[in-house]
Amino acid sequence: MRLGGSRAAPGTSNSRVGANDDEDVADGRIEITVRPDGSVFWPSSASGHFRPIFKSESTLEGIIWKRVPLITKQWYEVEMKKHIKWKPRNEVKVRRIYNKKACELYNKWVHEVRNSNDEKVTSAIPANVLEHWREHWKSKDAVKKSKIAKANRRGGNSNADAESTHTGGSRSFMETSQKMGLGPWGTYEWTHTKHHNGSEYCSTKANRIKEGMTAIEEGMSQLGDTEYSRDEALLSLVHRDNKKRIYGLGSLAATVPIEEVFDSSDGHIPSGPSYAQRLENLEKNHMTIIEQLKMIKARLDKRNDDGDSSAPPVC
């Protein structure tokens, strides 16, 4: 095993995948595609190739992804391109997702190394690198950040039990949606209930979203409106955070146009095209339901801006 600094940077000719847009060679690599709506479809099988590559080349600086030397990141990419490909015309969109995946999965791997005493997890890392990382993790700054992250994952109480963030497994939400033919609400329900039963939600936050959906359904029922969209209703209960993520949708958020997410920062139920009329009717005739929705939304807005989906740094 060699440290990243000993690698030569990949040549310019390897900076893109595929010779031209018409090339479709069955070379065994997984193709990362762009869907008609412009979102990138990244199969979970592609993500599985990252970790062996990370393990084969670790650096002293690589305590988190943003500190990994550029030359090492370039080498990771060269190795990944032995397993994945995409068309040159999709370079910009796919590269954005590639960089995000690399960051998330690298930080997750390092987090597991930090919290494991299993030699199988740490044996692939050179002794000097592992020792350097462990010294860093003992520093006051690292310990402080770890405590903050731990508390965030437990609703502000570091002594409480951490709740599951979803039940979707390693498959991305977008892949789940595509394979099962589900929309945003169907995907949310499947990935946030125990045994995917649609009734036992995995966390307090997931329960609050369900409470909001139930309130909307009851209100619409009283109005005699049976044609409303549950996907649209879900988007009225959540909004993009400072990192443009939508709680509960994961990668599927990329399929939601910006204008269809009802942004809010004041704790009030936002409005949007076509749905505004229905919520206005609810406000006139069923104030109790509107107030309930506002309280649920206000509680959701108090969550940490960086989210609490995992312990590793958010990319």
User: Per-residue pLDDT tens for 190-207?
Assistant: 888 988 888 888 888 888
| 37 lies in some domain | yes
Percent of the chain predicted with pLDDT > 90: 30
pLDDT at residue 179, rounded to an integer: 81
pLDDT at residue 97, rounded to an integer: 92
pLDDT at residue 298, rounded to an integer: 59
55 HSE (CA, 13 A, CB side) = 14
pLDDT at residue 312, rounded to an integer: 65
Q: Are residues 52 and 123 in the same domain?
A: yes
Contact in structure between 246 and 174 (CB atoms under 8 Å): no
Q: Are residues 130 and 229 in the same domain?
A: no
Q: Are residues 125 and 240 in the same domain?
A: no
Q: Are residues 238 and 289 in the same domain?
A: yes
pLDDT at residue 161, rounded to an integer: 67
User: Per-residue pLDDT tens for 24-81?
Assistant: 557 899 999 998 888 889 998 999 999 999 999 999 999 999 999 999 999 999 999 9
Domain tally, the chain: 2
Q: Are residues 108 and 195 in the same domain?
A: no
The low-confidence residues of the chain, meaning pLDDT below 50, are 1-23, 260-279, 281-283, 285-287, 303-310
Transcribe 97-149 into DSSP letters.
Answer: HHHHHHHHHHHHHHHHHHT---HHHHTTS-HHHHHHHHHHHTSHHHHHHHHHH
Burial label, 223 (beta-carbon count in 10 A; 0-12, 13-18, 19+): middle
pLDDT at residue 162, rounded to an integer: 67
From 118, 138, 158, the end of a domain falls on: 138
| 221 lies in some domain | yes
Residue of 30, 26, 54 lying closest to 42 (CA atoms): 30
pTM of the model: 0.62
Q: Are residues 109 and 54 in the same domain?
A: yes
Q: Are residues 287 and 237 in the same domain?
A: yes
pLDDT at residue 269, rounded to an integer: 35
Transcribe 216-240 into DSSP letters.
Answer: HHHHHHHHT-----HHHHHHHH--B
Kind and range of the H or E run holding 31: strand 30-31
pLDDT at residue 233, rounded to an integer: 83
Domain encompassing residue 50: 29-138
pLDDT at residue 300, rounded to an integer: 55
